[in-house]
Amino acid sequence: MFNASKGAATDLNGKKCRIGVVQARFNDDITNALWSACHTELLRLGVPEKNITHVTVPGALEVASALQGMAESSDFDALIALGCIIRGETYHFELVANESGAGVTRVALDYQIPIANAILTTEDHAQAVARQTEKGRDAAAVAIEMALLLASL
Q: Which of 105, 124, 151, 148 has its CA nearest to residue 2?
A: 148
Catalytic entry in 39, 54, 92, 125: 92
Is 92 annotated in the active site? yes
Opening angle at CA 68, ends 72 and 14, nearest 5: 75
Helix 125-152 / helix 28-44 crossing angle, nearest 10 deg: 30
DSSP string, 43-109: HHTT--GGGEEEEEESSHHHHHHHHHHHHHHT--SEEEEEEEEE--SSTHHHHHHHHHHHHHHHHHH
Backbone angles phi, psi at 101, to 5 degrees: -60, -45
Q: Which of 114, 143, 145, 130 has its CA nearest to residue 39?
A: 143
Query: Which are the catalytic amino acids?
Result: 92
